[in-house]
Chains A and B, each alone.
Chain A
Amino acid sequence: MIGAALYLMSRSLVNATRRRLARLRQPKYLVGFAVGCLYVYWLVFRRSGGSALGPASSAAGEVTAVGVLAGLVVLNWIFGSAETPFNFSLAETDFLFTAPLTRRQVIDFKLLRSQLPLLISAALSALFLSGGHLGGLRPSRVIGLWLVYGTLQLHYGGMALLRASLAQHGVTGLRRRLGTLLLLGAVLGLAGWSLERQLPDLVAAFQRDAAQGYGALAHTLHSGLLGVLVWPLAALVAPLRAAGTPAFASSLPTALLVFAAHYVWVVRSTLAFEEGAVEHAAKVARRLEALRQGRSPSRAIRAPRSTRAIRPRLAATGAPGVAILWKNTIGATRDAGPRWLLLASVLVAGSAIVLSGGPMGVGGRDVLAVMLLALGAVALLLGPLSVRFDLRQDLEMLDVLKSYPLSGREVVSGEIAAPVALLGGVVWSCLIGVFVATVARRGDGLPPLGDRVALLLASLPATVAILGVLVVLQNAAVLLFPAWMSVGQGRAVGLEATGQRILMTAGSLVALVVTLVPAILVGGVGLAAAAAAGVRQGWAVALGTVSGSAVVALELGLAVHFLGRVFDRMEPGAGVGPGA
């Protein structure tokens, strides 16, 4: 069985590498590969400082490593799902599940196959953390990181199997989370209780010197009850921190013991695994359907969900392109019911209340305004990159879109309208919220209320114009360079794909600047003209902004017309899809 796994790993690696190298004959992959190499070189080797892993052997290094590891474990305890972590590919399912193998052998096979990616990740991490010094690739550090990654993988797997087992016994949802939280609370309580007794000494040590403080903290982590709690974590990171070969050799057995304990734990969770495997097999059937349809399987395998979400009703008649907008809006808001809106509102308002009680002496409404402004800015600038309910997703179903009785222009405008409308709604809500939160404020550098009204009114079309440009650029990229963009939920990997993404980002930025220049010029002229005519400053800015937005709207119209023609000429298989 081990031989079969090793054979599969080695042949897959060789064939994948051969395929990638063959692709480099195409200029688009060669250019992407070159840019990707430059990026990795810059990322890894640009720093000329000392080894970042150097201090890992120090007390500070140990405290940091243990802290990070503990954080990852706690996050998984709280947010991890019950879905089996052993994500078998379709081929693995077909070959392994039907082969005369025990469950343990299947797990071993899966674990063994995952070791190569983990080893590569460990080597890259060691190189990255060492600031590009090849000395960071010392086998002891790579093995140390490999052990940490492998054990974390097993821990996540074991926890998922435990959750699956609990769910199988009817302990689901809130009750399961409650149990986890209680356990976590008990562990943290014990840790806190242990630390509390040492706190005065620790504070005194940190006040004297940071190194002494970390030394005292590391000593505390190894003593008493806390030492027992932290021992598995400290033992696991010890080989990574080892300063030399003797230290590495002496720390390795205990780390391997932690790894082995996790392995035994996972293998013994066979019942839950069986359930997970059965569930997984059913999902694979659905995944197969999704893949056959050329779509990402991730959504198709979802469990049944409530459809009680915010859903606008689609009228039977009217512009057909609106149906595309409606479809994408449904897709984007399918999971976002009133519960989420309420939760978001409570979070923002609650944070504002808490922060307003802080030492800055600012009022709750001011904090709320700042938070809403930040939220709006994030939605405005990053939203178009992350909300992909447009051609970036639908191009996977190009054949379906092309069979509709719609012109390319109607399809493209319907596709880009959804993210613009959704993000515009968020941005506008934030802007109106900022205005309402500050409406009663006077002075303090704020413009008069009348000017604020003008600025608010001007910002509404301006933000939609910016959103429109950003979304159109993303959709233009996927239509014009489908082979360079990730379509659907799949994501191309490899140096060449990284390089292609960098080039696309750079190209989008240039296009954004080119698009905005005429708008800024016209807006500037409008502002100057309004100011010369004696219009109040706020209203003059508003007029300038609105005229600039009108220019952008015109540009967008032309762009959609052009992209519609591109869509009409496009054919399925013309480089559409990840890795195409």
Chain B
Amino acid sequence: MIEVRALTKVYGTVEAVRDLSFNVAPGEVLGLVGPNGAGKTTTLRSIVGIVRPTSGAISVGGHDVERQAVAAKRLLAFMPDEPHLFDYLTVEEHLRFTGRLYQVTDVDRRLPALLQELELSEKAGVLPGELSRGMKQKLVIACGLLHDPRALLLDEPLTGLDPAGIRRMKETIKQRAREGAAVVLSSHLLNLVEEVCTRVLIMQRGRKVALGTIEEILTERPDLRGRSLEEIFLTLTGA
């Protein structure tokens, strides 16, 4: 579903991502981990089409993100680490706006259920300025899920959520993957990655350090066997 080939992104003289390649198949959850400045967010933003790769190619559902951007983006949902909302649209209006962008014909039917699921029903008519950080995050999640995306990109998805919200978010990720969505999850919470992800991509200074299931990584590095993901991560990144 998501195919990244030799992705390189350079900002001025800084090489944020270098020669990165990986695939994410439908139903798979890929955990993107790495220290600060490893290039995780740049990778996600390149897949979404927010930034253009300096070189390399990215496709989503067979659509090239650069040349067939609109078709690729229709399949995607990106949930950034900070909820970016329009100050002057209410919760419900955000969902209607998103519905129109993604041509969700049955938005009227989906709205109440989605609001209910994310505990936003009572906030449907309020502006983002009146929402807590967690509520805003929930609204972004609701907007992302409204069009049943085939590929989900999540950047630190648990930030700001309460324990119930965290549990629900984890369930949502697993449920979407079970339904065939390809998920890429970037997080510093290694226990979340361990719990939810089927494969892990460890990055450092824009490069791939390791990619595969925990077992595959351990096969390549038998000296790390018996250690936790956190210890594996720290060893591989030299932190």
Contacts and interface: CB of A to CB of B under 8 A. Distances in A.
B96 A314 contact: yes
Contacts, number: 110
Contacts of B107: 316
Contacts of A334: 88
B93 interface: yes
Q: Interface size class for chain A?
A: 35 or more
7 contacts: A289-B133, A290-B129, A294-B84, A302-B129, A314-B93, A317-B100, A404-B101
A146 B105 CA distance: 62
B127 A305 contact: yes
Nearest to B80: A399
Contacts of B73: 403-406
B126 interface: yes
Contacts of B69: 405, 407, 568
A327 B84 contact: no
Interface residues of B, number: 45
Interface string A258-269: 000000000000
Interface string A316-340: 1110101100110011001000000
Given A301-B129, A302-B127, A399-B45, A316 B108 contact: yes
Interface of B: 11, 45, 48-52, 69-71, 73-74, 76, 78, 80, 82-90, 93, 96-97, 99-108, 125-130, 133, 136
A571 B53 CA distance: 11
B87 A322 contact: no
Nearest to A322: B100
B126 to A, nearest CB: 7
A320 B103 contact: yes
A571 B100 CA distance: 24
B104 A316 contact: yes
Contacts of B106: 316
Contact of B97 (A294, A301, A323, A573): A323
A290 B78 CA distance: 19
A326 B49 CA distance: 24
Contact of B50 (A289, A323, A403, A407): A403
A253 B34 CA distance: 66
Contacts of A403: 48-50, 73, 76, 78
Contacts of A318: 100
B45 A286 contact: no
B126 A330 contact: no
B66 to A, nearest CB: 9
B147 to A, nearest CB: 9
B113 to A, nearest CB: 15
A568 B65 CA distance: 12
Contacts of A320: 100-103
A322 B127 CA distance: 21
A199 B138 CA distance: 68
